[in-house]
Structure 1
Amino acid sequence: MFDLFGHMKGNSGDPVPVLRDQVRNSDQLIEPVSGCSTVLTELSREMRTRMNAIVAFSFMMNKKEYCEPEREEFSNHIYNSCEQIISLLDNFLDSAIIDAGNSISELGVVHTGEMFADLFSEFREILKRERYKDLLLVSDNMTCQSPDFLFDANRVTRVIRNLFQIALRNTESGYIKVSYNIIDGRLKFCITDSGLGYLKCREFLQSRDMSESLAKFNDIHMAVSMALARKLIRMMDGSLWIENNGKTGSSIYFSIPVATASNHDNSINEFSSTMSPT
């Protein structure tokens, strides 16, 4: 059962107490993933595992004894392994670039309605795949009086995609809910799931020692994805936090400052001075 906000209720019908674990921009330094030996070890192990799977299923596809549905299943496994490799490498390399101080902000005027509509449409297409047949995407549409705002759309969409992938990994069935609003010069986004990953998400969101966190929860994908999201939010002078959704589900939020785009040139000069360079 759920309350009016989409959060789970306990068996008695009463809402499960919400616990908030918040990491703000200035709270703590985030460990460089490229300098953590455990991350490198787990990254190498995961890459070898995925590559072995690709080779094995490719070999099996050439065997005549397998029927067409089986070949299609092998193909899906190969495609999934390729996706996982690309995502893992992208997040690791982008995080390493930030650690090296070579990430550049790209502020621009963004039509928020179009940006979120495209993202939510992308997520719905992903959920049409067979392995997500028991998952439902719920989205809250929001209308702004001034739909154009100034912020780094590339960084924001990267964070949102990472959080969506984290929710997918944690939720085999049920729902994922996405919502956003812009109030008082801040963009606030939330992704809520009915999955089982709250404790794991909380661990990696708060982590100061990646080796210790990976010893508790051996999930290199989430470790690297969450590390990059934290760094990007930090660079945008924002906040990132997590709340439980029921006993095991998660609600992950972030909030960043945005400027109205009514005066483009002045807004860029004033707004860019508040952003963290690294």
Structure 2
Amino acid sequence: NRKIEAITQWVIVPGYEKTLEQVLVTLVDMTQQKETERELIHAKQRAEESDRLKTAFLANLSHEIRTPMNAIVGFSELLRDNSLPDKEREDFLYYLKSSCDALSTLVDDLVDIAKIEARQTKILNSECFIRSLLDELYTYFREEIRSIKSPVELSLETTINTQFVTITDFFRLRQILSNLISNAIKFTNQGYIRFGCNLTNPDTLTFFVEDTGIGIPKDKQHLIFDQFRQLDDSISRKYGGTGLGLA
């Protein structure tokens, strides 16, 4: 009942004449060579895909920079008109600030990616009041949803009280949650967005962002944390963005 393990190996069998009564066969184990060849092929494919993504990223980056820049220039020119009604002036200032914020976020993302690739990212841990952070995010994104006149309902759900403190990098935690909520707003046209945090174990905090948006196909979900990756990386795509948010 002993089982024999079958092993597939690559070998070279030199040619021979069938008329000979005896044959001397020399076998050369090529398993390692074939493994190396396979790894080289995969590495080449990954490099080509990385180059393709970076090319698409640079094309989209130009578009993502021009859009807020054009708005900044345009609204700045309009605001020079002293006869503008107060309501229009207020609206133009809001759009001007939004464009500046979008450009600032884009620059921050680019700097972060450069630091990550250069291994210069630093985590600065300090005391963080989680509930205060969540309340701040809720207030900010509730106003953003109102400003774009979206029918989406935003809600904060948490069992964390105002006195709960943990040690973490406040800026990075806020950045991660902001990117996730921004993504939810971008891809949700109706329904709801829920986010929050719960203490699932004495030493475990679980953060979540849930929405009724278009979602991501299961066969693409493993790609969402890749740098420069978007399901649609063409300039004519429906949704904006550089693909850096979740990376």
TM more than 0.5: yes
Q: CA deviation at 1:98?
A: 1.2
Matched, 1:223 2:243: yes
Distance 1:206 1:69, change over 3 A: same
Q: Does the 8 Å CA contact 2:60/2:234 hold for their aligned counterparts?
A: no
What amino acid maps onto 1:159 in structure 2?
Answer: I
Task: Give the superposition deviation at 1:155.
Answer: 1.7
Confirm or deny: 8 A CA contact 1:204 1:223 kept in the other structure. Answer: no
TM-score when normalising by structure 2: 0.63
Structure 1 63/148 Cα, relative in aligned 2: closer, same or farther at 3 Å? closer
Q: Does residue 45 in structure 1 map to residue 67 in structure 2?
A: no
1:174 aligned to 2:194?
no
Residues 210, 134 of structure 1: CA spacing in aligned structure 2 closer, same or farther, 3 A cutoff?
closer
Structure number with the bigger relative contact order (C-alpha 8 A, sep ≥ 6) is 1
SS of 1:177's equivalent?
Answer: strand
Percent of matched pairs sharing the same residue:
25
**Paired residue secondary structure (1:226):** coil
Task: State the Cα RMSD in Å.
Answer: 3.6
Do the aligned partners of residues 61 and 204 (structure 1) sit closer, same or farther apart at CA in structure 2, a change above 3 Å counting?
A: farther
Contact 1:174–1:194 (CA under 8 A) maintained in structure 2: yes
**SS at the partner of 1:188?**
strand
- Which amino acid in the other structure matches residue 167 of structure 1? A
Query: Paired residues, what number?
Result: 194
* 8 Å CA contact 2:56, 2:234 repeated in 1: no
- 1:192 and 1:119, CA in 2 relative to 1: closer, same or farther beyond 3 A? same
Pair 1:192-2:210 in alignment: yes
Quick one: distance in 2 between partners of 1:203 and 1:131?
31
Q: Hey, what does 1:151 align to over in structure 2?
A: 168
Indicate if the aligned counterparts of 1:107 and 1:151 stay in contact, CA closer than 8 A: yes
- 3-state SS of 1:223 partner: coil
Q: Is the 8 A contact 2:134 2:196 kept in 1?
A: no
Question: 1:175-207 CA distances to partner (integer Å, 9 max, x unpaired)?
Answer: 2211221223332211122333545x9486154
SS of alignment partner, residue 75 of structure 2: helix
Amino acid at match of 1:43: L
In the alignment, structure 2 segments of 5+ residues that lack a partner are 1-45
Q: Work out which of the two has the higher radius of gyration on C-alpha atoms and give 1 or 2.
A: 2
1:226-275 CA-partner distances (Å, limit 9, x unpaired): 21xxxxxxxxxxxxxxxxxxxxxxxxxxxxxxxxxxxxxxxxxxxxxxxx
Bigger strand fraction: 1
C-alpha distance in 2 between matches for 1:67 and 1:225: 37
Tell me the residue number matched to 2:118.
100
Q: SS in structure 2 opposite 1:59?
A: helix
TM-score w.r.t. length of structure 1? 0.57
How many Å separate the matches in 2 of 1:161 and 1:67? 34
Structure 1 residue 166: deviation in Å? 1.3
Identify if the C-alpha distance between structure 1 residues 219 and 126 changes in structure 2 by more than 3 Å, giving closer, same or farther. Answer: closer
